[in-house]
Amino acid sequence: MQAIRIGVREAKIHLSRLLEDVQKGKEIIITNHGKPVGKIIPIPRESLSLGERIERLERQGWIAPRGAKEESPLPSPLPLPDEMAQKYLQEDRDS
């Protein structure tokens, strides 16, 4: 989300509107002569219920909704001769 940049004088004039924007999740950067001097950000809700936290994670794509069709399983790892996996891993770490 793009933060809103606003000068000190304008921020004083429109503080109520800016706070409404912050309540909607926007961030406000306060500038003085064009240089950022402060930021107004939303306070995170700390007491979400379990259901609300699950819904948020589903919306963000971190978890699948209950009963959702599962993705196909990952393929089996390719077989490698003895010690080859360790050798490739070490080469990757060294580079």
Query: Over the range 84-95, which residues count as b (16 or more CB within 10 Å of their CB) and which as e?
Result: eeeeeeeeeeee
Q: Cα-Cα-Cα-Cα dihedral of 10, 15, 21, 25, to 10°?
A: 110
Tell me the residue range of the domain where 39 lies.
1-65
Q: What is the mean pLDDT of residues 54-67?
A: 85
- Residue 1: its pLDDT value, please? 61
Q: What is the mean pLDDT of residues 7-26?
A: 93
Q: CATH number of the domain that 30 lies in?
A: 3.40.1620.10
Residue 32 maps to a domain: yes
Which phi and psi (to 5°) does residue 90 adopt? -65, -40
Residue 81 maps to a domain: no
Residue 36 maps to a domain: yes
Tally the domains of the chain: 1
pLDDT digits (tens, 9 = 90+) for 44-55: 767 778 888 888
pTM of the model: 0.47
Nearest Cα neighbor of 39 from 48, 29, 49, 47 is: 29
pLDDT surpassing 70 at residue 16 = yes
Query: Rounded CA gap, 20 and 40, in Å?
Result: 11
